[in-house]
Amino acid sequence: MPAGGIFAVVLTAAVLFAATNVDDIVVLTVLSISSRATGQPRPWQIWAGQYAGFTVLIGASLAAAAGLALVPLHWLWLLGLVPLGLGLYKLAAAIRAHRSGQQASPAAVTGLAGVIGLTVANGGDNLSVYIPVFRTSSAAEIAVIITVFLAAVGLYCPASIRLAGHRAVIQAVQRWGEWVVPFVFILIGFYIFFKTGALS
């Protein structure tokens, strides 16, 4: 592949990733704030979960581009049930804790598996974009695209940590996080429904 062609593919992949993962930086920031405020999930779990989850998305896109219908695209809206259910569960826990005079933990997920599941659910609707791109790209172009995607994940993680690093933000989460975090994930669930056309 000529140098000009590589540059074009890299630029296209960067724009594609940014356009389909704007919401991911919100999820990562919430996880990073939760990590700083409560210790859960741990930073390494956020990084590993993001890479593992995104690897699942890439693998599913490649398989579908090769003709394997792993998940029908019209069922992708179901992935929105993951953050929605998580948000409703955390909201119920906050209400129970408030009634008993305690404070619920603002931690959205507490382990590697939770971060992976959240990453896959939040990025599942991206399959409808990635599949045709992979289907119409050569093997060399796909390799470049995947490399850019994985590098971009490595930029998103420290960016979210930086956003979450302000003392005022951490103090606000420690005080109000038990209410804010559930509503953020409920909104993410409805956002996935919207992006996948479930609300139309």
Cβ atoms of 53 and 123 within 8 Å: the answer is yes
Please report the pLDDT score of residue 21 as a whole number: 82
Average pLDDT for the chain: 80
Please report the pLDDT score of residue 53 as a whole number: 92
Q: What is the pLDDT of residues 96-110, one digit of tens each?
A: 877 877 665 555 677
Name the DSSP class of 72: -
How large a percentage of the chain has pLDDT more than 70?
79
Q: What is the pLDDT of residues 20-78, one digit of tens each?
A: 887 787 788 888 887 877 788 888 999 999 999 999 999 988 988 887 655 566 666 77
Q: Between the CA of residue 48 and those of 112, 116, 150, what are the distances in Å? A: 7, 8, 12
Of the pLDDT bands very low, low, confident and very high (cuts 50, 70, 90), residue 147 is very high
Distance (Å, rounded) from C-alpha 144 to C-alpha 17? 13
Q: Which two tokens stand for residue 85?
A: 């259910």
